[in-house]
Structures are given as C-alpha cells and as structure tokens.
C-alpha cells in the first residue's frame, strides 16, 4: 500500500518552473505514514498521461496529481483520468457557482471555457479550492485505489491538502503511523569512506539509515516508522549517537543546522570573534557567516584582497613572498589570515587564496588549487592545501573553498574546547 505523486505540466519538463509541489507532498505523505516509491512528471499530452496513470494505478494505492486542472485545452488531467477508468464526466452546478462568484469578486465574468473545470468523473467527490477556480477531486474508481487531484499552483495545492485531503485520508484509515526522519551532516569525508565505516547501520529495518552526497558534504538520513514522533525519536536517537561517535569530527550537525550556524555557535560559546581575508572567493566566506541572524556577535568583517597590492597594503603580505611564491601559496595564505586578524582585532583570522578558473591555471598551479590560512586565538598560524580540480566550474570552486575554510575553523574550535 503506497502512494505515487504525478505532476502534470510541460513547463516542469522544460525546467521553466521549479517543482516544489513534489517536495511538499512527499513530506506530507511521510507525516501520515504513507510510503511512496515513485514520483512521475509528465507533460500536457493525453497519450503519455494516460500511460502514466495506467502504470501508476497498478503499483500504488493512492495517486496524487498536481497540475492540469485549468480551463485551457492543454489542461488534461481530469478528462484523462475519466477516460482511463472509462467513466463519463458530469458537470457540477455548485462548481460553476463557485467559479462565477470568485471571478465576480474580481470584477470578471466567467468564460465558457471555465465550465470545463466543473466536469468531474461520475461518482467522484469535489476537493474544494478556497483560493482559486480549479477544484480537485477525491475518487475511488475501484477498490483499494484512491485518486486525489490538485491544481499546480503551490499555494492553492497546499491549502487544499491541509484543509481537506488530510482529513479525507485519515478517514480512510491512513495517518495511524508516521514516518519521521533526522538528517545528519558530515564534512571532510567521502561518501564511500563514511559508508564503509557505517555499513552495518544500513542493514537496519526500523529505523533505516541511508547516505546521500551533497555539494561539499555527505548526509545520512535516519528514518523511523512509528505511531508518534516521540516513539520515532526514541528509535532514532541511539543510532544517531553511535554514528556521531564513529564519525568524530567529520560530523558537524543535523536537521536545521548549517555549517555557518554551527561555527557561529562555537565562536559565541567561546566568546571569540572571527574575520576573513578573501581573494578568489570574493566575499563568499563572509557571506556564509552572515547567513546566520545575529552573526555580528562574533563575525566582525572581512577584506577582499583580490589584487596583490591590496594584500600588501591592507593585510601586510610581504611583497617578496608574493614575487617568489605567488599569491596562491601557503606563505601568502598564512600572512593574509594573520594580517586580517591583526587589522580587525579578532580572535581568529581566516584567509582564502586560489585559482577558481576557468583560465589562469598552470601545470604547477592548476585550476582548483586553493590555500586556506588560519590564524588562531593564540597567534599561531597554519595553512592547508585544497585541490578541487578543473572538473568543477568557477562558482563551485569558490563555494567549496569557502566551505572548506569554514569547516577548518569548526574543527579548530572543537579541538580548542
């Protein structure tokens, strides 16, 4: 017994619209304990939509549709459903009245093509749309199969789901269990290496543990199916603690945590401050710090030293070292971090200098070579080398550089504590 989400609209296939509906519905289904194994996106084409419905109705007991409920000829969801299940369409006068009233309130009159939205398969119930003109349907065309349709407009779909669909599904016996998940985040370790360490956890059945790769980090999702959130947390928490112990410093947070938030909390707890000196990232590291509300408590500011003369004049980088080692070097990264720490009077100074590309790389210093410098609260200075490679584009290299610098500071703060 599972659900399948079917999103209808050629604009989704073309990438013109970000499909946020499917994410919302997936989370909502999980909150009701309804598993779903497939998500399908199909264009505004009768034959293809018909095939999708036929396939989905054989492998799922709940089909949730979004899109294709409008008044235009390419809005095909309702009539296609009716034809698949060989059921005639019936006009509902109450829907026509509702559409007329809503349009009249806007100073408009109902067009003939709006009558199409009042047609539902015979026997289907109306899923009211309080916000728009496109109602959905609630229908069981055969035993053990439920169809629910929504317009593609996210605000309308969400309201219809919460105000009608949830109670309907609960009345059908769903919602007695929930699927609750916790997401764990890791930095500085590859997915394959983390998976090797945690292989035995992936064999669990409840809760389940699954790894994911995201840009700059690895994620683990721990999910439990229980009667309540409290019971789910009781199952998930012991697994979480075991994983954190195995991962050590590679684990940095969970759920709503961000790396910037975690680093900020560590600085605040220590009563310390940080500043940044950036070359190739052009302010990206500073931007990460300031995504956190209240970050002015610990993040003082930064210097974007793109040209070498700025490195010399504002950060005190030795001109001879620039000539001999180049701007992208260990010694320059160290001097930049110490220079910004002294210049802005902070506990910590972090620097980034590198080659983000796409040009300017050499055999000795290729695109993706980055040095991060760190001057600590004791005046000690260190640097480390990153090689992100030319396989990444410029923006990705800049992001990964900032992320690596932020994580380096996190690790040092934890070690200091």
Q: How far is CA 307 from CA 142, 279, 304, 325, 337, in A?
A: 70, 8, 9, 15, 16
pLDDT per position as a tens digit, 235-293: 999 999 999 999 999 999 999 999 999 999 999 999 999 999 999 999 999 999 999 99
pLDDT per position as a tens digit, 40-82: 999 999 999 999 999 999 999 999 999 999 999 899 999 999 9
pLDDT per position as a tens digit, 289-306: 999 999 999 999 999 999
Q: Is 212 helix (H, G, I), strand (E, B) or coil?
A: strand
Four-CA torsion 74, 76, 77, 80, nearest 10 degrees: -160
CATH architecture of 3-171: 3-Layer(aba) Sandwich (3.40)
Domain ranges in the chain with CATH number 3.30.70.2860: 179-254
Domain ranges in the chain with CATH number 3.90.950.20: 259-416
Query: 259-416 — its CATH code?
Result: 3.90.950.20
Helix axes 77-84, 46-59, angle to 10 degrees: 60
The whole-angstrom separation of Cα 184 and Cα 226 is 20
Residues of the chain above pLDDT 90, percent: 85
> What is 179-254's CATH number, 3.40.50.12780, 1.20.200.10, 3.30.70.2860, 2.60.40.3950?
3.30.70.2860
Whole-number average pLDDT of the chain:
94
Domain ranges in the chain with CATH number 3.40.980.10: 3-171
- pLDDT bin (cut points 50, 70, 90) of residue 417 is low
pLDDT per position as a tens digit, 300-331: 999 999 999 999 999 999 999 999 999 999 99
First to last CA, the chain: 50
pLDDT per position as a tens digit, 169-209: 999 888 888 889 999 999 999 999 999 999 999 999 999 99
297 secondary structure, DSSP code = G
């Amino acid at each position: 017994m599972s659900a399948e989400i079917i999103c209808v609209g050629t604009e989704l296939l073309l990438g013109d619209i970000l499909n946020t509906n499917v994410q919302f519905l997936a989370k909502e289904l999980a909150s009701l304990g309804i598993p779903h194994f497939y998500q399908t996106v199909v264009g505004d084409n009768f034959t293809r939509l018909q095939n999708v419905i036929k396939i989905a109705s054989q492998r799922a007991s709940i089909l949730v549709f979004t899109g294709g409920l409008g008044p235009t000829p390419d809005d095909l969801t309702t009539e296609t459903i009716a034809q698949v299940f060989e059921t005639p369409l019936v006009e509902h006068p109450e829907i026509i009245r509702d559409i007329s009233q809503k349009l009249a309130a806007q100073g408009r009159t109902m067009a003939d093509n709006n009558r199409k939205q009042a047609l539902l398969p015979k026997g289907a119930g109306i899923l009211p749309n309080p916000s728009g003109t496109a109602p959905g349907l609630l229908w069981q065309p055969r035993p053990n199969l439920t169809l629910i349709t929504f317009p593609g407009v996210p605000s309308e779909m969400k309201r219809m789901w919460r105000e009608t669909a949830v109670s309907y599904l609960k009345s059908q016996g769903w919602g007695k269990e929930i699927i609750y998940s916790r997401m764990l985040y890791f930095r500085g370790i590859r997915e394959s290496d983390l998976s090797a360490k945690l292989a035995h956890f992936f064999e669990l059945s409840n809760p389940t543990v699954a790894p994911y790769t995201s840009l700059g980090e690895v994620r683990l999702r721990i999910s439990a199916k229980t009667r309540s959130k409290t019971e789910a947390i009781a199952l998930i928490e012991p697994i979480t603690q075991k994983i954190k112990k195995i991962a050590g410093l590679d684990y940095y947070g969970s759920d709503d945590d961000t790396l910037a938030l975690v680093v900020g909390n560590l600085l605040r707890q220590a009563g310390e401050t940080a500043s940044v000196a950036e070359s190739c990232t052009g302010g990206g590291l500073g931007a990460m710090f300031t995504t956190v509300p209240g970050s002015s408590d610990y993040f003082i500011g930064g210097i974007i030293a793109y040209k070498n003369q700025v490195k010399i004049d504002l950060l005190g980088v030795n001109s001879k070292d620039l000539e001999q080692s180049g701007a992208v070097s260990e010694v320059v990264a160290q001097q930049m971090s110490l220079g910004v720490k002294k210049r802005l009077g902070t506990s910590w100074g972090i620097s980034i200098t590198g080659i983000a590309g796409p040009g300017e790389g050499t055999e000795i210093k290729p695109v993706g070579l980055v040095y991060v410098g760190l001057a600590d609260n004791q005046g000690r200075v260190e640097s480390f080398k990153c090689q992100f490679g030319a396989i990444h584009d410029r923006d990705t290299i800049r992001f990964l550089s900032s992320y690596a610098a932020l994580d380096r500071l996190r690790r040092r703060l934890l070690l200091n504590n």
